[in-house]
């Protein structure tokens, strides 16, 4: 089935009042960081926290009365589940969502709270998928595919339609790719409104399925744990790969650390909470700043459903990476008053000691000496060097315990 701009425009009309028309806002902080004029589309502001509710509504709204009564089935460990659950409840459609048995309880609870029945089945998403297909065959329910469906693609394309309507002069649109539903719809809309625009996809380097398919290479069997779960798809769709091959100029791969940095930049810059997949487009821009320098670039924050514990870990790791939170090991004589001297030296340099561990019993420490491990909050790496110099000058040999920042004795 051919999907056109007319399908996306009709989807946009159908979505009026059903989803938010999320803002597309310029970001001076990000623009300054990457050297491009950047506009950010905030799909993380949707009620369900991601763009997935757009396609889900379009698909559900087109079911026959009989299909609505029988109910629908979906497979997802995250955003697609919530999009289907939310709109199915509002439309009075029974929804069953299959999730792998290891799905975090918060995702299960959130999906159930939106009105869906959740069944935990199998150790992986593929096993949960098989269970869902079995229910479709035995009970006659409609399967709501997460990406490889014309209605889903048309619904997701309204993201690009809104963005290009508000910012028709964009030179580049960078879109995360999992199965390809979002980028397919956005590419169709963007190219229809501005044939000269370049559409670029981005995938986690751990899940490069679309990039491999377009390059004529086999999809690797191995994968791994990624912060970008929303685009951790092992194989792209049939419809989506055809659209992407026609309209997308390139698919960039980004590693885990760069995605982490993008999540951190979104939060500390424009104060945007982006999940790993939602930050992937920014990660690609950060990794390829020279390629996009001086151009008008649109980024889609596809979702913001990140576990709070994971988000806190990302931010703490970022502080360590940037030298704003460091662990120091200080050698000192085991005599009265020496701790106050060390703390005074650090304090006089403006460092804030937030944790201390005094080690006297380690076998490799001389009996009349001690190791003092301190965690210090600092401004940057230059500030760290000032503290190290002050301690060394004060007679206290010190080294960093954070390997990424190097070591000093």
pLDDT at position 296 is 98
For residue 362, pLDDT over 70 is answered with no
pLDDT at position 106 is 79
Mean pLDDT, rounded, for 340-353: 93
302 is a catalytic site residue: yes
Question: Do residues 147 and 199 make contact, with C-beta atoms less than 8 angstroms apart?
Answer: no
Among 92, 114, 143, the domain boundary falls at 143
77 with 25, same domain: the answer is: no
126 with 192, same domain: the answer is: no
pLDDT in tens, 61-115: 999 999 999 999 999 978 999 999 999 999 999 999 999 888 878 788 999 999 9
47 with 72, same domain: the answer is: no
Mean pLDDT, rounded, for 374-378: 93
340 with 376, same domain: the answer is: yes
Query: Rounded CA gap, 280 and 262, in Å?
Result: 7
Q: Which residues contact 54 (CB under 8 A, 6 or more apart)?
A: 11, 15, 19, 46, 83, 155, 156, 158, 159
52 is a catalytic site residue: yes
Tell me the percentage of the chain whose pLDDT exceeds 70. Answer: 95
Q: What are the tokens at 371?
A: 């190791």
Pairing state between β 95-99 and 117-120:
parallel
Q: Confidence band (pLDDT; 50, 70, 90) for 364?
A: low
333 located within any domain:
yes
210 located within any domain:
yes
pLDDT in tens, 15-57: 999 999 999 999 999 999 999 999 999 999 999 999 999 999 9
Q: Poorest-confidence range of 11-15, 148-152, 381-385, 400-404?
A: 400-404
39 with 167, same domain: the answer is: yes
167 with 298, same domain: the answer is: yes
Among 269, 284, 317, the domain boundary falls at 317
Tell me the percentage of the chain whose pLDDT exceeds 90. Answer: 76
278 with 265, same domain: the answer is: yes
41 with 60, same domain: the answer is: no
231 located within any domain:
yes
Mean pLDDT, rounded, for 333-342: 88
Mean pLDDT of the chain: 92
Query: Rounded CA gap, 137 and 78, in Å?
Result: 24
Domain total in the chain:
3
210 with 116, same domain: the answer is: no
**3-state DSSP of the chain:** CCCCHHHHHHHHHHHECCECCCCEEECHHHHHHHCCEEEEEEHHHCCCCECHHHHHHHHHHCCCHHHHHHCEEEECCCHHHHHHHHHHHHHCCCEEEEECCCCCHHHHHHHHHCCCEEEECCCCHHHHHHHHHHHHHHHCCEECCCCCCHHHHHHHHHHHHHHHHHCCCCCEEEEECCCCHHHHHHHHHHHHHCCCCEEEEEEECCCCHHHHHHCCCCCCCCCCCCCCHHHCCCCCCHHHHHHHHHHCCEEEEECHHHHHHHHHHHHHCCCCCCCCHHHHHHHHHHHCHHHHCCCEEEEEECECCCCHHHHHHHHHHHHHHCCCEEEEEEEEECCCCHHHHHHHHHHHCCCEEEEEEEECCCCCCCCCEEEEEEEEECCCHHHHHHHHHHHHHCCCCEEECCHHHCCCC
148 located within any domain:
no
pLDDT in tens, 259-276: 999 999 999 999 999 999
Catalytic residue chosen out of the listed positions 50, 76, 204, 302:
302
328 with 253, same domain: the answer is: no
245 with 173, same domain: the answer is: yes
279 with 354, same domain: the answer is: no
151 located within any domain:
no
Question: Do residues 293 and 300 make contact, with C-beta atoms less than 8 angstroms apart?
Answer: no
Question: Do residues 254 and 200 make contact, with C-beta atoms less than 8 angstroms apart?
Answer: no
pLDDT in tens, 161-215: 999 999 999 999 999 999 999 999 999 999 999 999 999 999 999 999 999 999 9
387 located within any domain:
yes
Catalytic residue chosen out of the listed positions 52, 59, 141, 212:
52
149 located within any domain:
no
CATH number of the domain bearing residue 400: 3.30.70.260
Question: Do residues 323 and 384 make contact, with C-beta atoms less than 8 angstroms apart?
Answer: yes
Q: Which residues contact 335 (CB under 8 A, 6 or more apart)?
A: none
pLDDT at position 407 is 38
Q: Confidence band (pLDDT; 50, 70, 90) for 1?
A: low
Rounded to the nearest angstrom, the gap between the alpha carbon of residue 125 and the centroid of all alpha carbons in its chain is: 19
76 located within any domain:
yes
CATH number of the domain bearing residue 59: 3.40.50.1100
* Domain carrying residue 361: 323-405
Q: What are the tokens at 293?
A: 């320098």
Q: The pTM is what?
A: 0.87
pLDDT in tens, 268-310: 999 999 999 999 999 999 999 999 999 999 999 999 998 888 8
Among 143, 167, 189, the domain boundary falls at 143
Question: Do residues 79 and 338 make contact, with C-beta atoms less than 8 angstroms apart?
Answer: no
For residue 132, pLDDT over 70 is answered with yes
């Amino acid at each position: 089935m051919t999907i056109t701009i007319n399908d996306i425009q009709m989807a946009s009309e159908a979505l009026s009042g059903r989803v938010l028309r999320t803002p597309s806002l310029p970001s001076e902080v990000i623009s300054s960081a990457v050297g491009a004029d950047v506009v950010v589309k905030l799909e993380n502001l949707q009620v369900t926290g991601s763009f997935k509710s757009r396609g889900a509504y379009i698909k559900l709204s087109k079911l026959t009365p009989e299909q609505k009564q029988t109910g629908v089935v979906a497979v997802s460990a995250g955003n697609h589940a919530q999009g289907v659950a939310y709109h199915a409840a509002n439309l009075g459609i029974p929804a069953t969502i299959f999730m792998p048995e290891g799905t975090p309880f918060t995702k299960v609870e959130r999906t159930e709270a939106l009105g869906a029945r959740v069944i935990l089945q199998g150790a992986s998403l593929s096993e949960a998928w098989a269970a869902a297909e079995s229910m479709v065959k035995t009970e006659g329910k409609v399967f709501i595919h997460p990406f490889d469906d014309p209605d889903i693609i048309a619904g997701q394309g309204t993201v690009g339609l809104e963005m290009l309507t508000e910012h028709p002069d964009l030179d580049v649109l960078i879109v995360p790719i999992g199965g390809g539903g979002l980028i397919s719809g956005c590419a169709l809309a963007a190219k229809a409104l501005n044939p000269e625009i370049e559409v670029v996809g981005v995938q986690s380097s751990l899940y490069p399925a679309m990039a491999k398919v377009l390059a004529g290479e086999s999809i690797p069997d191995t994968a791994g744990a990624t912060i970008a779960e929303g685009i951790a798809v092992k194989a792209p769709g049939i419809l989506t790969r055809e659209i992407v091959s026609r309209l997308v100029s390139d698919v960039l791969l980004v590693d885990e650390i760069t995605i982490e940095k993008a999540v951190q930049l979104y939060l500390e810059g424009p104060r945007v909470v982006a999940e790993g997949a939602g930050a992937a487009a920014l990660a690609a821009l950060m990794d390829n700043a020279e390629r996009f320098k001086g151009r008008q670039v649109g980024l889609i924050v596809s979702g913001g459903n990140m576990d709070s514990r994971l988000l806190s870990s990302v931010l703490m790791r970022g502080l360590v990476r940037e030298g704003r939170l460091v662990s120091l090991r200080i050698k000192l004589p085991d005599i009265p008053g020496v701790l106050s001297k060390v703390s005074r030296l650090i304090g006089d340099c403006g460092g804030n000691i937030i944790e201390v561990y005094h080690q006297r019993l380690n076998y490799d420490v001389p009996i009349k000496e001690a190791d003092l491990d301190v965690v210090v909050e600092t401004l940057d790496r230059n500030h760290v060097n000032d503290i190290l110099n002050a301690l060394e000058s004060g007679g206290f040999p010190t080294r960093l315990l954070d390997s990424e920042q190097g070591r000093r004795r």
